[in-house]
Amino acid sequence: MKLEMHTKIIVNETEKRLHMEDNIFQLMLDGYHLFVVDEILPVYKAGQELIGSAVVKKVEWEEGKTTILYQLISLHSVN
């Protein structure tokens, strides 16, 4: 079983907004991934493009997939 640890969130435009007012997003990834919870992490659109900062609120592993819920706390650009 492969496990990856992350200190940043890379969304590759696959995130889904769950709650508009609280800026809560869901990101599903193939494989098992470990994220720091309740700490501020940078969010990247694709590899190098920094879009903001977020706090991971929940990490779930199931059937070879990882689902994270994170709250976007700052945005570097409106686009």
pLDDT (tens digit per residue) in 6-36: 999 999 889 999 988 899 999 999 999 999 9
pLDDT digits (tens, 9 = 90+) for 54-70: 999 999 999 999 999 99
Q: Is the pTM of this model over 0.75?
A: yes
Mean pLDDT, residues 31-47 taken together: 92
Domain that holds residue 48: 3-75
We report the CATH number of the domain holding residue 51 as: 2.40.240.20
Number of structural domains, the chain?
1
Q: How far is CA 36 from CA 8, 21, 54, 72, 79, in A?
A: 9, 23, 11, 15, 26
Asked if 3 and 34 count as a contact pair (C-beta separation under 8 A), the reply is yes
Closest by CA position to 31, among listed 49, 58, 6: 6
